[in-house]
């Protein structure tokens, strides 16, 4: 896993690879590398919409959520 602090840290080839992969995901590619993993959501500000968007996103990835309010 790499850390990215600024775009200039990436090569042109790396940027192209990211764009190709992003397009594949936009077209329905699935990634099950996180399937069955558990994730905890901590919400410090009340926002029902954000809370439920996070739940749906996590479930779409096949993960299990535990929410702390």
Q: Where are the alpha helices (DSSP H) in 2-63?
A: 12-26, 48-60
**pLDDT of the residue at 2:** 63
How many CA atoms within 13 Å lie on the side-chain side of 5? Answer: 0
Sign of the four-CA dihedral 22, 47, 49, 54: positive
Could you give the C-alpha distances from 9 to 13, 25, 44, 47, in angstroms and in order? Answer: 12, 23, 33, 35
pLDDT in tens, 16-63: 999 998 898 888 887 777 788 888 888 887 777 888 888 888 888 888
37 CA to centre of own chain: 13
Predicted confidence (pLDDT) at residue 10 exceeds the cutoff of 80: yes
> Whole-prediction pTM value?
0.50
Phi, psi angle pair for 39, to nearest 5° = -135, 140
């Amino acid at each position: 896993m790499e850390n990215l602090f600024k775009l200039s840290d990436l090569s042109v080839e790396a940027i192209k690879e990211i764009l190709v992969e992003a397009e594949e995901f936009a077209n329905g590619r699935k990634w099950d590398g996180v399937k069955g993993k558990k994730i905890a959501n901590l919400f410090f500000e009340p926002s029902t919409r954000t809370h439920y968007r996070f739940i749906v996103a996590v479930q779409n990835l096949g993960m299990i959520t535990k929410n702390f309010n």
